[in-house]
Amino acid sequence: MTSIQPIEPSTTLIPEKNLTKTLTVGIITAIFVIAAPMIIGSAGGNYWVRVLDFAMLYVMLALGLNVVVGFAGLLDLGYIAFYAVGAYTSALLSSPHLASQFEWIAHLAPNGLHVPFLIIVPCAMAVAAFFGVILGAPTLRLRGDYLAIVTLGFGEIVRIFLNNLDRPVNITNGPKGITGIDPVHVGDFSLAQTHSLFGFQFPSVYSYYYLFVLAALLVIWVCTRLQHSRIGRAWAAIREDEIAAKAMGINTRNVKL
């Protein structure tokens, strides 16, 4: 009679050599990311640091698109429309534009709304999500090229609509855009000012760079958590085979929305 010997679990998850290598690469990468604006700014001026700022913004946009196209397998070509909706929402809430166009708003806030940044961000997300539900509800049954065509049309509708929403009531100021937008500030700390630390000068483009890097890291963390969560596994199932996902009891309608 044979006896089954229990297998003792391994206590070493990552070899010490690999852990040291990973930590070394991580520290070098962190130093490079922190020093990047100072190196590039001293070599090519603040213009190239601003290019880095926009690069970080597009990194976050790409990560958001990866959730739709990569995780769920939905070919959404109108994704940028939700970015536009969120951007205009934040601009309207942080500028005097609405107060100059509507008397009742001017009564409440003569100098404009100027909502704090930490309130603007969730408001813009909520408005963009609302428009996402409006688009998603009628397109739940569409797949592949048909979904791509509908979402591409929605993106163009939003672009044309925003470019022409300067009459009869001027809400978006048309192709000219909204001006007088407040710089990002948290409490008394404004990213529009030049700050000094340990004898180093940090212009506003540097401050925005570090803000966008932190935001990009947060988005990466959220996307990673989503991918390994219950809804992330449901997205993967829909991407591979939607019919099989339905057969396994996944509510594809709610998961897509």
Between CA 5 and CA 10 the distance in angstroms is 15
Any residues with CB less than 8 A from the CB of 43 and at least 6 apart, and which?
Answer: none
Q: What band does 199 get if pLDDT is binned at 50, 70 and 90?
A: confident
Q: 168, exposed or middle or buried, with CB in 10 Å at 0-12, 13-18, 19+?
A: exposed
**Whole-number average pLDDT of the chain:** 88
Q: Which amino acid is at 224?
A: T
Task: For residue range 110-144, list pLDDT tens digits in order.
Answer: 888 889 999 999 999 999 999 988 888 888 888 88
For residue 48, which of 216, 214, 209, 211 has the smallest C-alpha distance? Answer: 209
Strands 189-190, 185-186: pairing kind? antiparallel
For residue 203, what are the contacts with CB-CB under 8 A and spacing of at least 6?
A: 41, 46, 49, 194
How is residue 29 written in tokens?
A: 């990468």
Residue 185 in 3-state DSSP?
strand
Query: Mind listing the pLDDT tens digit for each residue in 69-99?
Result: 999 999 988 889 999 999 999 999 999 999 9
CB-CB contact of 131 with 84 (8 Å): no
Residue 190 has pLDDT above 70, yes or no: yes
Q: Residue 84: what pLDDT?
A: 94
Q: Tell me the sheet residues that pair with 54.
A: none
DSSP readout, 121-153?
A: HHHHHHHHHHHHHHHHGGGTT--HHHHHHHHHH
Query: Are 191 and 184 a contacting pair, CB within 8 Å?
Result: yes
pTM assigned to the model: 0.84
The candidate with the shortest Cα–Cα distance to 128, out of 158, 160, 161, 99, is 158
> What is the distance between the terminal CA atoms of the chain, rounded to a whole angstrom?
57
